[in-house]
Chain A
Amino acid sequence: MSASYLTVDRTVWSWINTRDHKRIGVMFFVLNGLALLLGGLFALAMRTELLTPRSLFMSSMTYNRLFTLHGVIMVWLFMIPSIPSAFGNFMLPLMIGARDVAFPRLNLASLYIYLVGAVVTIVGLVVGATDTGWTFYVPYSAKDATAVLPVLFGVFIIGWSTILTGLNFIVTVHKMRAKNLRWMQMPLFVWTIYGTSIIQVLATPVLAMTLLLLGVDHWFDWGIFDPMRGGDPVLYQHLFWFYSHPAVYIMILPAMGVISECVSTFSRKNSLSYEAIVWATVGIALVGFLSWGHHMFTAGISVFDAGAFGLMSMFVAIFSAIKVFTWTGTLYRGSISLKTPLLYVFAFLFLFVFGGMTGVAVATTSLDLHWQDTYFVVAHFHFIMVGGTLTAYLAAVHYWFPKVTGRMYPERLGLLSASGVFFGFLLTFVPQFLLGNLGMPRRYHNYPAAFQPLHVLSTAGAYVLGSALFLTLGYLLWSLRYGEVAGANPWRSACFEWRTTSPPPPHNFEGTPPFERGAYDYTREALERERARALESDAALAPEPEAGHV
Chain B
Amino acid sequence: MSEGGTKLEAHFESMERQADAARFGMWVFLASEALLFGALFTLYACYREKWPHAFEVGVAKNDALLGTTNTLLLITSSFLVVLGIDRYRRGDALVAARLVASTAAIGLLFLLIKSHEYAMHFSEGIFPGGHGAYFADAPAGSAVFFTLYFTMTGLHAIHVTVGMGVLVYSAIQVRRRRMSLHGLEIAALYWHLVDCIWIFLWPLYYLARGS
Contacts and interface: CB of A to CB of B under 8 A. Distances in A.
Contacts of B151: 213, 216, 222, 224
A222 B10 CA distance: 49
Given A204-B32, A230-B47, A235-B46, A209 B147 contact: no
B43 A202 contact: no
B29 A223 contact: no
Interface stretch (B34-42, B71-79, B96-104): B34-42
B40 A229 contact: no
B86 interface: no
A492 interface: no
Contact of A222 (B35, B128, B141): B128
B129 A210 contact: no
B128 A167 contact: no
B33 A205 contact: yes
Interface in B38-94: 38-40, 42-43, 46-47, 50-51, 54
A286 interface: no
A171 B25 contact: yes
A170 interface: yes
B143 A98 contact: no
A205 B36 contact: yes
Name the interface size band of chain A: 35 or more
B148 interface: yes
Contacts of B40: 209
A176 B21 contact: yes
A209 B36 contact: yes
A163 B28 CA distance: 10
Given A213-B151, A230-B51, A230-B140, A239 B42 contact: yes
A31 interface: no
Nearest to A93: B11
A242 B21 CA distance: 29
Contacts of A412: none
B129 A220 contact: yes
B124 interface: no
B122 interface: no
Contacts of A223: 129-130, 143, 147
A235 B43 contact: yes
Interface in B112-163: 128-131, 140-144, 147-148, 151
A261 interface: no
Contact of A171 (B28, B129, B147): B28
Interface in B186-203: none
B208 interface: no
Contacts of B147: 222-224, 229
B42 A102 contact: no
B6 to A, nearest CB: 13
A171 to B, nearest CB: 5
A216 B35 CA distance: 19
B128 A220 contact: yes
Interface centre among B10, B46, B143, B147 (most CB of A within 10 A): B147
B10 A99 contact: yes
B11 A230 contact: no
B54 A230 contact: yes
Interface in B8-33: 9-11, 17, 20-21, 24-25, 28-29, 31-33
A205 B130 CA distance: 26
Contacts of A238: 42
Contacts of B42: 235, 238-239
12 contacts: A98-B11, A104-B9, A104-B11, A175-B17, A175-B20, A175-B24, A206-B39, A213-B151, A224-B151, A230-B50, A230-B51, A235-B43
Given A213-B151, A224-B147, 18 more contacts: A99-B11, A102-B25, A103-B25, A163-B32, A175-B21, A201-B28, A201-B31, A202-B31, A202-B35, A204-B32, A210-B39, A223-B130, A223-B147, A224-B144, A229-B143, A230-B144, A232-B46, A232-B47
Chain A to chain B: the 7 pairs with minimum beta-carbon distance, closest first: A205-B36, A100-B11, A222-B129, A209-B39, A99-B11, A229-B143, A230-B144
Interface of B: 9-11, 17, 20-21, 24-25, 28-29, 31-33, 35-40, 42-43, 46-47, 50-51, 54, 128-131, 140-144, 147-148, 151
Interface of A: 98-104, 163, 167-168, 170-171, 174-176, 201-206, 208-210, 213, 216, 220-224, 229-232, 235, 238-239, 242, 507
